[in-house]
Structure 1
Amino acid sequence: MQSRPLSEFCLLSRSKINLFLQIGPVIPEIGLHRLTTVMQELEYADDIRFRYSPPCATRATLQSYIPPPDSSAKSVQYELGNWLMRITVRGDVESPLNESNLCLRAMNVYYADFIKQLPLSEDSVRPYRFFALDLHKRIPTGAGLGGGSSNAATVLLVLNELFEAINFETNLPNLAQTLGSDVPYFLYGETALCSGVRGEVYPLPPLPKLGVLLLIPPRQVSAGAAFAAWDGLTVGESTVTEIEMIDTEEHIRSFSWTQPDRILWSALKNDFEALDEYHNTVAALRSRLADLGALHTQLSGSGPTVFALFPDRAAAEAANISFDATDRDGSSVYEDWQRIVTETYNSRSYIDGKGA
């Protein structure tokens, strides 16, 4: 018997780059570094298809809406109270279907917060609901592009679109912070200054559409490992004070972000580039990509992805075609690196289509 039709959202869960990243002192109470970073959303994205049933009075009625799982892809199904969840992952990028999956964690934290707010009497019956999230992964994990954080924020936004249960301006960012420091940024996207420990977000005037060339090595780097390497490099002592970071943030706000020809590109930086595993590689790529017309080249996040900005997508495409994967001594240094041409993205329209 064919299942009843489900309503659905079709979404793009976009990646990001860090135009600026400064690592500050460790906050003793929580053992995490204070950060100042400017994030920029990109067109490069994962696809998410989000399907859901209407509220059902009984489990038997709910069963009539549940389609069979796709046998050609990995999926997991589990229950949260009267909610039945299914997450399916496909694509060339591995995404674990366990408690570390940020989509699962986002569903869990939203459900827990949502249920707390329901004013139910003892004889009330919570309706049964089915949710199916089909995630097509393109953004590599552990690449400094925020793929998992973007997925989590997208799930929170969709659930809140359906239920409008959590105040967007206050409670939803707080919920996002429990999932990771980058997740609150993806509730807003565009060009934004993110500061502090938990990723407080301050929108900036949007950077116009620029071409972007992503160069992604065939390895993952966890943020924890990168910070441990940074602490080893600085012997646990911050290279910048809290007051200096506040001054930096004020300076960043004054940048002419809407006019690339007026941005002082040399003022942008990523402190992680000082690590031994990045320093020489990024410097070599910066020189090579400048010869191909790049406005700016930098490490994204905690690495290992390096990005280059160009005046437009056509210029980025041309640089990608002209890029020589061999080093000056003839060795094949970059042959196994993935190269992606994309663009900066500046629109807060996360939901691209809504099914009836």
Structure 2
Amino acid sequence: MITYPIAKINLGLLVTGKRPDGFHNIETIFYPVPIQDALEVVVSDVFNITISGIDLNEDPEKNLVVKAYQLLKADFQLPPVNIHLHKNIPVGAGLGGGSSDAAYMLLLLNELFQLELTEEQLLNYALQLGSDCPFFIRHKPAFAQGRGELIEEIALNLAGYYLVVVKPSIHISTPEAYQDIVPAMSRISLKALVHFPLSKWKGNLQNQFEHSVFVNHPEVKEIKEKLYQLGAAFALMSGSGSAVYGLFRSDKKNLAAHFSADCHIFTQKL
């Protein structure tokens, strides 16, 4: 059985406080985008996993899709499987690729082995794998709070816009992203802001991680500035970086010449 985990972008991201459990409370809008990995699982005599595409520089056995399999295997009598994961979503980018792979693995195993798990049960399993994994169980535009697991679907449709994602060869770890964060609240709820005309998003819809990332990695700031120079209606760093996306009203071609040769560039009509 094959499935295609998708990526996400953050339409605004605020860190609103530090939690007693060591995590941070956030507010964000998750929006699904059609940048995809490919995940195949077949029943096998022995367990095995192979990974192709982007080099993850990690032991495949430590991948989140393996953890998802092990999580369900602890509660159900799952047979050994052969897993193949083809990575296309950049890592260390703020696009949620690893979390999406894990969530889609849960969905795939639930269907393949007819486990009949409810959506609520799948969401609970997903949260054990990562704070933003629950979003990918539903993969619909959503306002997220708490660690990212308190999800409220919202009516938001960016169909017709052209998405450009630029990922430089920079990996930003979660600890690095949070080290200079000072929690703050927005004057206007993100849920309200995303329903403003898109022309009003610039300067209002903010990613709090941009400040420290731009200081430590000025090339990320330059990517955002370049997207606006190229005519983006809105541009923002996604998650804790380092990918930056732009929303355009018309298709953009031959973008590679405007960015460093080591950047991954994705262009997709939404």
Using structure 2 for the length normalisation, give the TM-score: 0.87
1:239 maps to which of 180, 184, 192: 184
Does the alignment pair 1:277 with 2:216? yes
Following the alignment from structure 1 to structure 2, what is the Cα–Cα distance between the partners of residues 219 and 191? 27
Equivalent-residue separation in structure 2 for 1:163 and 1:95 (angstroms) = 31
CA contact (8 A) 2:29 2:143 kept: yes
Q: How does 1:293-308 map to 2 (within 5 A)?
A: 293-308=231-246
Structure 1 segments, 4+ long, off by >6 Å, are none
Matches of residues 242-321 of structure 1 in structure 2 within 5 Å?
Answer: 248=188, 251-254=189-192, 257=195, 261=198, 264-275=201-212, 276-278=215-217, 280-281=218-219, 283-312=221-250, 314=251, 316-317=252-253, 320=255
The 5-angstrom pairing of residues 166-185 of structure 1 reads 167-185=117-135
Q: Which of 1 and 2 has greater Rg?
A: 1
Q: Distance in 1 between matches of 2:57 and 2:68?
A: 15
Deviations 1:142-190 (A, max 9, x none): 1111111110001000111234436433221111111111111111113
Q: What is the CA–CA distance in structure 2 between the aligned matches of 1:162 and 1:262, rounded to whole Å?
A: 44
CA change 1:111–1:153 in 2 (3 A) is same
1:85 is the counterpart of 2:47: yes
2:193, 2:205 within 8 Å by CA — same for their partners in 1?
Answer: no
2:262 pairs with 336, 344, 347, which one?
A: 336
Show the counterpart of 1:51: 42
What secondary structure, in the 3-state scheme, does the structure 2 residue paired with 1:134 have? strand
Matches within 5 A, 1:18-37: 18-28=10-20, 30-37=21-28
The code of the aligned residue for 1:170 comes to: E
CA separation of 1:199 and 1:109: change in aligned 2, threshold 3 A: same
- Cα separation, 1, equivalents of 2:22 and 2:139: 27
* Residue pair 1:42, 1:343 contacting (<8 A) in 2 also: no
> Do 2:164 and 2:268's aligned partners in 1 also have CA atoms closer than 8 Å?
yes
Alpha-carbon offset, residue 36 of structure 1:
0.5
What is the alpha-carbon root mean square deviation over aligned residues? 2.5
Q: Secondary structure at the match of 1:140?
A: coil
Question: Partners of 2:79 and 2:76 in 1: how far apart?
Answer: 14
> How many residues are treated as equivalent by the alignment?
267
Deviation per residue, 1:78-127 (Å, 9 max, x gap) = xxxxxx43211111332523553101111111111335xxxxxxxxxxxx
Unaligned runs of 5+ in 2: none
Give 2:74's aligned residue: 112
Residue 177 of structure 2: aligned partner? 226
| TM superposition shift of 1:135 | 0.8
Give how far 1:283 is off. Answer: 4.7
**Offset of residue 271 of structure 1:** 0.1
Instruction: Provide closer, same or farther for how the CA distance between residues 190 and 317 of structure 1 changes in structure 2, counting only shifts above 3 A.
Output: farther
Quote the Cα distance in structure 2 between the aligned partners of 1:166 and 1:195: 28
CA distance in 1, matches of 2:8, 2:192: 22
Q: Could you say if the C-alpha distance between residues 170 and 302 of structure 1 is closer, same or farther in structure 2, counting changes exceeding 3 Å? A: same
Shift of 1:260: 5.7
Which residue in 1 is equivalent to 2:109? 159
Residues 299-330 of structure 1: CA distance to partner in whole angstroms, max 9, x if unpaired? Answer: 11111111111124x2x336x26x523xxxxx
